[in-house]
Structure 1
Amino acid sequence: MARAATTSDAFNAIAEPQRREILALLRAGERPVTDLAQELGMSQPGASKHLRVLREVGLVRVREAGKQRLYGLDARGLRPIHEWVGGFEQFWNESFDRLDTYVQDLKQTQQEE
């Protein structure tokens, strides 16, 4: 099955490590592309391309501030990812519960010996 186009799917967009880094930087607040590029050690055009992809999938918003364009995180776009990952929460909780039961049984066995 072919992958969805990066520009239409948040999962594919965040599969790129530098885009995840951009999102992490934007958690602290809005930043101009030049700051993001410098922080990530990439060219301004490279950062702009990543920001365009993130904007197109709804993970980043942009606003004009004088001559600058400030980019900010739009976490609403992460909801499908959050919901998908959240589906594994029950699996992990049950796994940890079984592990805790096993460890408690081991302790009980050792105390009885």
Structure 2
Amino acid sequence: MHAFDILGDPVRRRILELLADGELAAGQIGAVVQEEFGISQPGVSQHLRVLRESGFATVRAEGTKRVYAANPEPLKEADEWLDRYRGFWRQRLDALGTEIARGRRSRQ
């Protein structure tokens, strides 16, 4: 599955956002996702399975809990694809920086 197929789903993106701050137990992830998206626990489990099977997340047992962590490696595929478009953003951001600097000078 392509990285954007995984990242295209808002629930999976949210789970990855949660995991970007560090490991979380499946129950913690489920509580947030269920509240924000109104999906069932089995639905959350399916999203976790997709993230795990696609390599975006890892899981380890800690007693009776399953603890998930983000794996940044698959994000490289998306990053490499986006790389060819960064020139468009850089030019616009550089232009914005110039305009901000001009505005500061005109106020002084």
**What TM-score, normalized by structure 1, do the two folds share?**
0.74
Alignment of 1:49 with 2:46, yes or no, is: yes
Query: Is the alpha carbon distance of 1:98 and 1:38 closer, same or farther for their aligned partners in structure 2, counting shifts above 3 Å?
Result: closer
CA distance in 2, matches of 1:85, 1:31: 29
Structure 2 equivalent of residue 71 of structure 1: 68
2:79 is matched by which residue type in structure 1? H
User: % of aligned pairs identical?
Assistant: 39
2:89 is matched by which residue type in structure 1? W
The structure whose Rg is larger is: 1
1:59 is matched by which residue type in structure 2? F
Which stretches in structure 2 are left out of the alignment for 5+ residues?
A: 104-108
**4+ aligned runs moved over 4 Å, structure 1:** 96-101
CA distance in 1, matches of 2:10, 2:46: 14
Which stretch shows the higher mean deviation, 81-90 or 19-28? 81-90
Query: Is the alpha carbon distance of 1:55 and 1:98 closer, same or farther for their aligned partners in structure 2, counting shifts above 3 Å?
Result: same
Residues matched between the structures, number:
98
Alignment of 1:12 with 2:5, yes or no, is: yes
Q: Cα deviations across residues 10-59 of structure 1 (Å, max 9, x unaligned)?
A: 21011000100000000111112211111112322111100111111110
**8 Å CA contact 1:33, 1:44 repeated in 2:** no
CA RMSD across the alignment: 2.3
Look up the SS of the partner of 1:61 in the other structure: strand
